[in-house]
Structure 1
Amino acid sequence: MSTVKPSSSTRPKPEASSLRAATSRPVTIISTTYASTNTTLNPVAATIVDFFNNLLDQIPLPRWAIYTIFAAGVLLILLCCLCVCIKCCCRGNKKKRQQKKDEKISMKGVNGKTTTALVQPDVGDVDYGSTRKYRGKLLYSLEYNAATSELMVGIKQADSLKAMDLGKSSDPYVKVYIVPDKIKTCETKVFKNTLNPGFNEQFNFQISKASLLKSTVVMQVFDFNRFTKHNIIGELRVQLGNVDWNHVIEEWQDLAEPAKFEEENLGEICFSLRYVPTAGKLTVVILEAKNLKSMDVGGSSDPYVKVQLALDKRKWKKRKTSIKKKTLNPYYNESFTFDVSFEQIQRVNLVISVWDHDTVTRNDAIGKIYLGCDSAGNQLRHWADMLSNPRRPVAQWHSLLSAEQVNSTLALKKKIPLPSKLPF
């Protein structure tokens, strides 16, 4: 029996099959080995990653938005921690500084024999900056002419005055008088919206050398208010007996708190003025008064107002209001019209006086004030405002002065003679 050997074309080649097996097997083994290695080495990490992946998949936002929100939250937490740390550090430094300060201030064992105790003032004598109010300073001058018995008081200027208005400014003017007589009161012009006014005004007072040595000149700086009480900023008091009159005195002094021992409040009055040049009509409306001085025993008064015109320093025309019973704050709103030509208005003085009516005895003058082209201070300002605003009423409050002061300053003569008695 013959044996047939397979040919080379039909028999598989062992080398090729073994090579293919060898080539494909390592790939399968390597991939299986890596998978088994990752699963067996980090099971906890894989669990956490899967948890977070599932959690992120449940949030209805894209991954980039979730990562941005997470980063912002982490940054915010870091900033909060940083702020807390800074605050704690600052608090610690502050405590250390306070402890050092207390150690420096603490002077244990100090007694009356030490230098510190000798120069240290008492607590009551310390003028603390928080309680002291700086009111500004005033430049004034004093000169006395013995030949004419005349004292000349110059109000030059003020500087760094205390602001009294809401706009951090003031409307200052200066009132000058001499005590104890106080027979004359002078006022400077009002300067609007300034804390450094330049007054450059001089006032003359007739006073003997004997009275001069016992007198004191008072210079008070006020803040002007048209419809309310004028606020005092500060004052200077110069005792004339201590002044060297061999030369002119000119110096700056800080304003002090005003003294109140010789102040006599007579009250205030509000009235309006209106002048029509074409018609020659002067209208005075007495509106009201307040805080009048009590003249009756019961602590009240029965006030009325007298309106008087003086032409060329002579009494000319007068009218008066009704009487308000038992009040110190009367309200009138009464109008009076006078015929005053434009030529006469330059020579007219308006005298407003408040009187207390008495049925049995003589009426008493509570206070007085006068306006005109030769007046001063607030009175001159009111009169000038009336002339510069024709046909328009201008109202203003005024502080009443004593009748003696106004009479001595105005120095009215006898009533103007009647036309029938004129020497023609």
Structure 2
Amino acid sequence: MTNSTATTSTPEISNSTLLYTTPEISNSTLLYPTTAGPDFINQILNEIPLPRWAIYAILVAGGLVILLILCLCIRCCCCKKKNDKKKKKMMKDQVELNGLAGASTTALVRSGGDDAQYGSTQKMRGKLLYSLEYNAAKTELMVGIKQAAELLAMDLGGLSDPYVKVYICPSKTKTCETKVHRNTLTPIFNEVFTFEVTKSVLAASEVVMQVFDFNRFMKHHIIGELRVDLSSMDWNHVIEEWQNLSEPLKCELEDLGEICVSLRYVPAGGRLTVVILEARNLRSMDIGGTSDPYVKVQLALDKRKWKKKKTSIKKKTLNPYYNESFTFDIPFDHIQRVDLVISVWDHDAVTRNDAMGKIFLGSNASGNQLHHWADMLANPRRPVGQWHALLTAAQVNATLVLKKKMSLSKMINKYH
């Protein structure tokens, strides 16, 4: 009896201990490490027959492609919503107009004191105060540019750098420019320009005053213009009045292109360095719609032809790039008596070379050309570059009448 009890209790404790504890510990220990963790990821990456950097690059590229697809989807959805909104608005407006189809015209007019003005959508370009006076004895027309007000802002700061260009149309043999006034919409010019015009020509002419915004390294944008018919003027007294600027006539604007020039003067050594940088938007002179432009640089002393040089020829282009430098020896006491004439020509191997445009700088110049020359003298030993709009040879020659070239011996005897 004692032996049977002992044999019965001992196996029960042993079996329960072995059956309960051993399998759970064994299962948890075997299953956990094999399902997750960095070793598992490294094992997968090691099985791929590519270097690690290539795998990472592929993953990054795939992520970027997915991101790009998502962005495109979002954009398409936004565009679709925007188009749906526009369609709904158009349908709504159409319904409203259909409802007014049977109404009288008086019902469509807005009530109240603020009537819509015709042309109110056009830009207000400002106004100009000018004067006109004709001297019949001298056959001279004097055009005074007094001041401007409420000009259109052309710069980012809400201002402009205005100047006025004046010429007589249709002859356009002479073009004059005022000084540039910086950062203002109400410049005061007080400049007078004289044009030689006979009474008969005056009756069939008009004076054109164009206000431009100055830019040193960009094209000068026109703010507005004023055209005054001279055929029915009463020249017994001086005419002076304000007029609003209007949009320029596109057919009248003769664009010959522009040229960029750098000037540098060293007073101590008496050296003037002229760099012809580039030109743009030149006129096509050849049948193929292009040109073969080169530039002449000529010095005049006391309005007498003195020295000249020229650049290389650039084939078949309307936007030539030169970056060619020319140095002239000019003593400091002669610099104020020098004019620099720059002309662009189209080279032709068979026929005569054609003039494409011209400018001149110096103390006898006006407007932007005089401004550039003054900047050079005010900043010795420093290059000063600027773009200039090309004029016709007739316009420049009417202002700067050059005499024949002086011989070297006469030049030495006169100035040394």
Whether TM exceeds 0.5 here: the answer is yes
Structure 1 residue 291, shift from structure 2 partner: 0.3
Structure 1 residue 243, shift from structure 2 partner: 1.5
Post-superposition CA distance 1:382-409 (Å, at most 9, x none): 0000000000000000000001110111
Counterpart of 1:247 in structure 2 is: 237
Structure 2 residue corresponding to 1:225, chosen from 205, 212, 215:
215
Q: Which runs of 5+ in 1 are unaligned?
A: 1-101, 118-124
Counterpart of 1:347 in structure 2 is: 337
CA 1:186–1:420: 2 relative to 1, 3 Å: closer
Structure 1 residue corresponding to 2:378, chosen from 388, 394, 409:
388
Distance in 1 of aligned mates of 2:271 and 2:162: 32
Counterpart of 2:357 in structure 1 is: 367
Structure 1 residue corresponding to 2:296, chosen from 306, 321, 333:
306
Distance in 1 of aligned mates of 2:279 and 2:412: 40
CA 1:297–1:126: 2 relative to 1, 3 Å: farther
Tell whether 2:140 aligns with 1:146: no
Counterpart of 1:205 in structure 2 is: 195
Q: Aligned to 1:266, what secondary structure does the other structure show? A: coil
CA 1:193–1:423: 2 relative to 1, 3 Å: closer
CA 1:217–1:307: 2 relative to 1, 3 Å: same
Structure 1 residue 320, shift from structure 2 partner: 0.3
Tell whether 2:266 aligns with 1:276: yes
Structure 1 residue 381, shift from structure 2 partner: 0.4
Q: How many residues align?
A: 311
Structure 1 residue 247, shift from structure 2 partner: 1.0
Structure 1 residue corresponding to 2:391, chosen from 389, 401, 412:
401
AA paired with 2:222? I
Counterpart of 2:17 in structure 1 is: none
Structure 1 residue 132, shift from structure 2 partner: 1.0
Distance in 2 of aligned mates of 1:421 and 1:314: 10
Structure 1 residue 127, shift from structure 2 partner: 2.5
CA 1:222–1:421: 2 relative to 1, 3 Å: closer
Distance in 2 of aligned mates of 1:107 and 1:330: 60
Structure 1 residue 272, shift from structure 2 partner: 0.2
Counterpart of 2:310 in structure 1 is: 320
Counterpart of 1:160 in structure 2 is: 150
Q: Which runs of 5+ in 2 are unaligned?
A: 1-95, 110-115
Counterpart of 1:287 in structure 2 is: 277
Distance in 2 of aligned mates of 1:292 and 1:251: 37
Post-superposition CA distance 1:345-401 (Å, at most 9, x none): 000000000000000111111000000011100000000000000000000000000
Tell whether 2:121 aligns with 1:110: no
Post-superposition CA distance 1:71-108 (Å, at most 9, x none): xxxxxxxxxxxxxxxxxxxxxxxxxxxxxxx9xxx796
Counterpart of 1:43 in structure 2 is: none
Q: Aligned to 2:132, what secondary structure does the other structure show? A: strand
Q: What TM-score comes out, normalization by structure 2 length?
A: 0.72
Q: Aligned to 2:380, what secondary structure does the other structure show? A: coil
Tell whether 2:118 aligns with 1:127: yes
Identity %: 71
Post-superposition CA distance 1:175-211 (Å, at most 9, x none): 0000110000000000000000000000000000000
Q: Aligned to 1:386, what secondary structure does the other structure show? A: helix
Query: 1:25-104 alignment to 2 at 5 Å?
Result: none
Q: Aligned to 1:242, what secondary structure does the other structure show? A: coil
AA paired with 1:358? D
Q: Aligned to 1:379, what secondary structure does the other structure show? A: helix
AA paired with 1:307? V
Distance in 1 of aligned mates of 2:266 and 2:324: 19
Q: What TM-score comes out, normalization by structure 1 length?
A: 0.70
Q: Aligned to 2:231, what secondary structure does the other structure show? A: helix
Q: Aligned to 1:241, what secondary structure does the other structure show? A: coil
**Bigger Rg, which one:** 1
Structure 1 residue 262, shift from structure 2 partner: 2.3
Structure 1 residue 422, shift from structure 2 partner: 8.2
